[in-house]
Copies of this chain bind each other. A is one copy, B any other.
Amino acid sequence: MKPNKQLLLKKRPVGLPEKDTWELAEADLPQPNEGEFLIKCEYISLDPAMRGWLNDTKSYIPPVQINEVMRAGGVGKIIESKHSDFKEGDYVYGQTGVQQYVTSDGKGFHTIDPDIAPLPMYLGTLGMTGMTAYFGILEVGELQEGDAVLVSGAAGAVGSVVGQIAKIKNCKVIGIAGGTDKCNYLVEELGMDGAIDYKNEDIRVKLKEYFPKGIDVYFDNVGGEILDLALGRLAMHARIVICGAISQYNNTSAIKGPSNYLALLVNRASMKGMVVFDYAKDYGKASVQLGQWIREGKLKSKEDIHIGIEKFYESFLRLFTGEKLGKLVLKVSED
């Protein structure tokens, strides 16, 4: 048995990935060259965007190649270093991939401090999903104090932070999530002003109730029918942030375009796409602010941690079945 378990992409899925999309393989422990270091991967980030990386299409990032280690952000500990800027014992964040060990020349990696926050939080609220929420709602959504804000996927890693930031900015915030438990969580734990259970409630009726004057900002993580209903309830000069479209990622037919898009014209509204990497130069500033809100108790960070690289597939599927709360994280090894 070789010591480095790795998850390799074996085929390109059509629709919802099946288990044989990936294969768990074993490799030798990689050896760092001069100017490199060796990381023991501790936690891996599971994100809806990973589904897009499996498609052989032009996008904001190249697809994962067949037989390559599955791409993933991760945090881990440096156990050997031949790099002048990183030393043994440092904890780092970067694109580790879904595997137990990886070497790096440091490109795209930065150190993190496990004494300031638990490691998994660096994959969520203090990581890419937190950054996405922060820049998405504040910069792309041009959030103003007092705005009426709707967020879908509101119990998820990005949505839960978006909703809380909007509350901090004195907005009215309504979240959409699936099921009573999640909806209670949004209102009781995260302090949102209301929640819509898309599995059991009439979204159109609820939007009318919650937004008598229309939606100023809609932060869209899901696309599909919910995007159309939000378009049908816009306020003048509304902003829609297109962050994702999880309802459409496993489509086998064409993506459903928003048939209400002419509401943009009627309401002089905008719909704008975002990719978080564009804000990389300001990650530091955002981290400081998010960290401060967490310390002040204004921002709650929730991670849903599953254990063992062997559980990758079952855990990944939870992104699409909705059986998770907050940021989905895989602890790589049981120890």
Shortest beta-carbon distance from A215 to chain B in Å: 15
Complex CA–CA separation, A256 to B254 (angstroms): 12
Tell me if A84 is interfacial: C-beta within 8 Å of chain B: no
A217-237 interface with B by 8 A CB criterion: 223, 228
A205 contacts chain B at the CB level, 8 A cutoff: no
What is the count of identical protomers in the complex?
A: 2
In the complex with contacts A257-B260, A258-B258, A265-B269 CB distance below 8 A: no
Q: What is the bound-complex CA distance between A257 and B59, given in angstroms?
A: 21
Collect the chain B residues with CB atoms within 8 Å of residue A269's CB.
272-273
Q: Could you say which of B248, B262, B273 contacts A267, with CB atoms under 8 Å apart?
A: B273
Contacts of A59 in B (CB 8 A): 266
A232 → chain B, closest Cβ, in Å? 10
A242 to B270, CA, bound (A): 9
Q: Does A187 reach chain B (CB closer than 8 Å)?
A: no
Q: Could you tell me the distance between the alpha carbons of A244 and B261 in the complex, rounded to whole angstroms?
A: 11
A274 lies within 8 A of B278 (CB):
no
Residue A27 at the chain B interface, CB threshold 8 Å: no
Which residues 242-298 of A have a CB within 8 angstroms of B?
Answer: 242-245, 248, 254-275, 278
Q: What B residues does A263 contact at CB under 8 A?
A: 273
* Chain B min CB distance to A254 (Å): 5
* Chain B neighbourhood of A262, CB < 8 A: 223, 242, 245, 248, 255, 273
Closest to A269 in B: B273
Most chain B C-beta atoms within 10 Å of own C-beta, residue among A272, A273, A274, A278: A273
Residues of A within 8 A of B (CB): 58-60, 223, 228, 242-245, 248, 254-275, 278
